[in-house]
Chains A and B, each alone.
Chain A
Amino acid sequence: MAMDKEFIKAFSEVIREEIARKNDVYLEGVGRFEFEHQKQFQKQFDSGRVVMMPPKDTITFIPEN
């Protein structure tokens, strides 16, 4: 069966919107998409330079067994 393009687009948008609202999305048989906030952190390079990396919001995926 062919996948509907509109459906794929809507699927992407729905998950994107829910994650942006900090909701987890459970996709049965695949896994769980979660919102994750990474705090800012200091990073030191071999040369001695130290930079502060900015905070970041990301999506993480936890696979179902």
Chain B
Amino acid sequence: MTIDKEQLISLLEEKTGLEREKVETQLSELISRIQKAAKEDKTFEVEGFGTFSMEEGSLQFEPGDILETEINNKYAGMKPIELIGAFKEPESEEEVPDVDMAESEPGGVDSENKWAFDSDVTEGEKEEQETEEIEAEPEPEYEEPETEKVTESEDIEEDQQEAEEVFDAVFGTTGEEPKETETQEVPEPREPVAETKNEKQGDTIGTVIVAVVVILIVGIGGWMIYDFGFSGTSSTEMSTTSPQPTETVDPADGNTQSEEQLGQDEEVVEPEQPSAVSTEEEDTGTESPNQQQDRYGLMGEPNQAIANGYTIVVHSLRDRQQAEQNRQQLQEAGYRALISQAQVEGTTYYRVGIGQFETVSDAQQAIDDAPERYRDNNFIKRIQ
């Protein structure tokens, strides 16, 4: 169906409550302004709608963010899915930063039903995929540094092992001490290795005795230095060296959680929510709390009076109970949580949203204050 000028005027009349004549004059004024800007080769922006511009002699229109979001509401939040089966050269991870690492067959995503949101068969699975998306996205950031650091720490471990072996070979102990990552110790125990080789080669008793004496001196000296280093600097060394392993381990842990402990994700991530809540509460505390509560915002009780505006959708589920449960959890954490229904391909989805915002940009800003697990996996939609 096409809305012609007459219908458009009627709709505008209804919307604005203005008289028909005034609507007509306003509309013709708008049209003449667009035409004038086009003739002068200028761009003309209609706030909240889009921009008209002249390109190669013809008028072009670029929709604004709000308009684009509104029209693409049905598919909002969907991101490119990597087809792992069709992967040829796994290079340059950063080319598609927003790609979900969802596994699929080569021709995998055949129907629009299989896309990230509004797509899964069971709620449990849905939950798992959602969390997978949440955790998978930061991967490209961590991957490279992680592998580099892991190899570094492995090298250190190898060096330690070598040192331990040499140490054991010389003293015949089990060597519990060498837990330090100090590199100075590594060359010292290596000297005895050279000496022990000489010992094997040497035939005379004298050389054997000299070698043994040298080994003992070096060994005892090394042990003393070692012991000094261990007892004298252990407290400070541990504090300076320990951050490296913990730094390298943490991202790895984060990734393994995201990949292997998807089912437990709720438990893992949720402790972060209270901290987010407390900071948010502090923030809102500095602002005028009455306004925050009564009007728009991320925290507090949902304001039923707000019919227009936007919310940040963090769950989209087929199971109403599950959606209600998630809503309650978010509400208990202090967020304005609301559920809205959406029909996608004949299926009803219950979308759990947090916050009520007047504009899309307000909602986008508020994403920074949302629980961490939702920050990269959400979409903004109009409150129904």
Contacts and interface: CB of A to CB of B under 8 A. Distances in A.
A14 B112 CA distance: 28
B141 interface: no
B71 A35 contact: yes
B191 to A, nearest CB: 49
Contacts of B30: 3, 7-8, 11
A58 B49 contact: no
B341 to A, nearest CB: 16
B85 to A, nearest CB: 8
Contacts of B86: 42, 44, 50
A24 B7 CA distance: 12
A39 to B, nearest CB: 8
Interface string B39-69: 0000000111110100000111101001110
Interface of A: 1, 3-4, 6-16, 18-20, 23-33, 35, 40, 42-45, 47-59, 61, 63-64
B121 to A, nearest CB: 19
Interface in B15-40: 15-16, 18, 22-23, 25-27, 29-35
Interface residues of B, number: 65
A12 B47 contact: yes
Contacts of B5: 26-28
Majority secondary structure of chain B interface residues (helix, strand, loop or mixed):
mixed
Nearest to B31: A29
B79 A18 contact: no
A20 B23 CA distance: 22
6 contacts: A6-B18, A10-B15, A11-B27, A29-B35, A49-B82, A52-B80
Interface string B1-18: 111110010011001101
Contacts of B3: 18, 23-26
B81 A59 contact: no
Contacts of B91: 47-48
A18 B14 CA distance: 14
A54 B123 CA distance: 22
